[in-house]
Structure 1
């Protein structure tokens, strides 16, 4: 039953991720400079490879048959009050040739500070990327929310044909 629930969650996540805009629609000026406490990436560590079966086939629309598993440990501190409320996660081409490809926006877990999810790589996403995490924090000052790039481990997406 757990794998069925995981599969349904992944399918819904993939459906939402396909409709997400790329770099052009993102407001780059909204990111604050990182200052103070922040969360950290639990998984994947830098250097992780993910296999994407059929991911190079750009006509399938949903990317390959595989998942990028992410885990991000948020924070909750009292002095000063700061709490992670979610993350944006996107693939950034380190060469700058391809536009950023978002996997999710405002992804969080209201019941835990561990943010855990599975995302399908976008169609045609093969090669080396930075998996960028933009953390959203509630500063407790009348609902002030800040966003900043918290991490960007290097990953590789290896595309293989569906056989």
Structure 2
């Protein structure tokens, strides 16, 4: 039987109070911990940084007169390059951009938008000559078309 006046009862109440106080502190710490953990996870999702080896994810990151292009090899890493000038290599459909997600050996998955395959497109005022796969001025291409003359 527990009596409030007895020593044994007082000791039990004191230990019960101490346990309750510790439990409340642990619960408060636990709630604070989970709140902080959630905040860290949310900030990681919002501000997820790309891997250090990815130089560009979109051609707009490269600036004026440049584009983001990727090679056709497995685990290729895109890089910024200059738009092709007269005589530069090009693809007939080189003006097309691609959107894709790639996964790299370290497990990183990176989303790419508006990137070119193999080569940047020809600079403004130039077109890709299908016969030579090189960038030429538009006037020169029209001169080679015998159907128009």
TM-score range relative to shorter protein: under 0.3
Higher strand share: 1
Whose radius of gyration is greater, 1 or 2?
Answer: 2
Instruction: Report the TM-score when normalising by structure 1.
Output: 0.20
Instruction: Report the TM-score when normalising by structure 2.
Output: 0.22
